[in-house]
């Protein structure tokens, strides 16, 4: 029994629907294999050059490396799916693979506020919050067709961001950290 079975609706278990959702996720994974690392590198660069922070570039470099590794793994799995997905009866195993790889990608993006955080810099914190919201919005559009994949994308990222901001320096940081799960829930619920 799946841990997330209580979230899914009956139509999501229909093999043809799942196959279409997997094809969409595979296409998205292959299309974002270049753009996601570029955006992660841009955010890391902006947090280390003085524009939105003075965090060590060596530290922020781990964000694009993690995102590149996660997106590369997702692209490889998407390519494998597109070549070997002939059997409609095998959709559950492919779905589980996609759910796991989405969680890995979410974790990679969740490193952004942890590795690019500059204590006491409110502009840095707002920039990181905006970056995370942009990532979440992209996930909603690209992976929102299947609830299990969407939750796997949303949960690690929103929890990591929430914890980072709750342990922040100011009341504003703590408020953003407390509100992050509600924003994630609102995006999930709509």
Q: pLDDT by residue for the chain (190 residues), tens digit each?
A: 454 444 444 455 688 888 888 888 888 888 888 999 999 999 999 999 989 999 999 999 999 999 999 999 999 999 999 888 766 668 888 999 999 999 999 999 999 999 999 999 999 999 999 999 899 888 877 777 788 888 898 899 999 999 999 999 999 999 999 988 887 777 766 6
Is residue 5 in some structural domain? no
Distance (Å, whole) CA 144 – CA 87: 24
Q: Which of 59, 56, 61 is nearest to 41 (CA)?
A: 61
Distance (Å, whole) CA 99 – CA 137: 18
**pLDDT attached to residue 1:** 44
Is residue 6 in some structural domain? no
How many beta carbons lie within 10 A of that of residue 179, not counting itself?
14
Is residue 104 in some structural domain? yes
**pLDDT attached to residue 8:** 47
Q: Which residue segment(s) compose the domain that 127 sits in?
A: 13-189
**pLDDT attached to residue 6:** 44
**pLDDT attached to residue 164:** 97
Is residue 79 in some structural domain? yes
**pLDDT attached to residue 3:** 47
Quote the number of domains for the chain.
1
**What pTM did the predictor assign?**
0.87
Is residue 3 in some structural domain? no
User: Looking at residue 5, what DSSP letter applies?
Assistant: T
**pLDDT attached to residue 144:** 72
Is residue 161 in some structural domain? yes
Is residue 137 in some structural domain? yes
**pLDDT attached to residue 137:** 83
Is residue 156 in some structural domain? yes
Q: For 116-134, b where at least 16 C-beta lie within 10 A, e where not — what string?
A: bbbeebeebbebbbebbee
């Amino acid at each position: 029994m799946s841990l997330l079975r209580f979230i899914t609706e009956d139509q999501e278990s229909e093999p043809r629907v799942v196959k279409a959702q997997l094809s969409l996720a595979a296409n998205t994974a292959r299309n974002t294999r270049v753009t996601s690392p570029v955006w992660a590198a841009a955010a890391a660069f902006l947090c280390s050059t003085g524009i939105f922070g003075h965090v060590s570039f060596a530290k922020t470099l781990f964000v694009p490396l993690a995102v590149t590794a996660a997106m590369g793994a997702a692209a490889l799995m998407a390519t494998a799916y597109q070549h070997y997905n002939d059997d409609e009866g095998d959709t559950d195993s492919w779905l589980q693979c996609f759910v796991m790889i989405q969680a890995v990608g979410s974790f990679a993006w969740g490193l952004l506020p942890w590795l690019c955080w500059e204590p006491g810099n409110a502009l840095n914190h707002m920039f990181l919050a905006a970056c995370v919201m942009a990532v979440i919005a992209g996930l909603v559009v690209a992976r929102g067709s299947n609830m299990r994949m969407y939750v796997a994308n949303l949960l690690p990222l929103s929890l990591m961001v929430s914890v980072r901001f709750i342990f922040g320096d100011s009341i504003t940081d703590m408020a953003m950290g407390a509100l992050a799960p509600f924003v994630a829930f609102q995006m999930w619920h709509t």
